[in-house]
Structure 1
């Protein structure tokens, strides 16, 4: 070694750290920085967690109020359903059940019986009980037919009974309801009528058929028309 080379060797500073030591130092520093960062994140999330708890507590009364609102809505809905159900029941009663009852077999039997009773009363009278017979007959009539029957019996029947002692009796041979409504009905009647008088003491019989129109008045079926057919 020359004197110059030795001089340069002495001037260079000693480097005691190896490359491995330098790498370890850098990794350690990075790890410490990461720990500081993670520590900072934990500290930052703690207040956020506290805020979430506060939000949950605050939502409790709102949730209860929502339940109460739902209960009120449910009660209103049930009330509406009850009213609707009552309305439907009333509608069915007045449009289906009641008309069926008013025009069913029981109603037809009643109107048929009243038609026969009224017809027999209107066509049956005798000199001994004329006033009573006519009063009974009129109790089964109504409307224009009542007015007509009153005029006819006063002008024609009374005169015939007084002068010729006319007496008549009627018998219903057959009867059937031809039309039925809640307040009106038509009944077809086949009638045999027997008549006697002072001039003709032997009974004479006449067969006829009539279409009787019945009208309900204050719950009673009365004859409102009497048409021969």
Structure 2
């Protein structure tokens, strides 16, 4: 790997920006002062120092975010703030992206990484990765609707959804609202909202609780994030 790419990936700025570090003789490869950003380094063999401090190289990052409402699950957006903009500048430099999308008005678990293979496998329709949501529904959700979801809802555009598990948590007759949990095994655009539209009801609040083996850390406040733990990374091994 080129030295300038290595430094950019470890949070020392763009390739252009790290030229100043190298020119100022502040970068060493082992015990040798680096002279050019084009020099090759082997992250698993060479030790790179910046201003005398050893640099730890990490090819991939894996972050769990508690996505808030009003933020877009995208890398770039010309109108709204994106989840990537919530990250630290050095984390943004390694090319992270959200794994799948949560609607702008949806909260909850969002995995952010730069591991394309993991993202592809988690989102692949062939993998049938479970996604569990908590939702508030305008209207009274019934046992009959539970059965319809279990059979597979047909959306208004004719798409036949895979069977979903619908759990009724609480029904408020006075407010004419229902609290539910729903687990789906695919990830079509606005799927949960469209499934309830198909039974003439509306989702008024939606939060993703889990994706595959990952569960939202409820200690994360809205907008906060943290690296995945070793145990969580181990759970994702089959998708890498």
Q: TM-score range by the shorter chain?
A: under 0.3
More strand by percentage: 2
Larger gyration radius, structure 1 or structure 2:
1
More helix by percentage: 1
| Larger RCO (CA within 8 A; separation ≥ 6) | 2
Name the TM-score, length of structure 1 as normaliser: 0.23
Name the TM-score, length of structure 2 as normaliser: 0.22
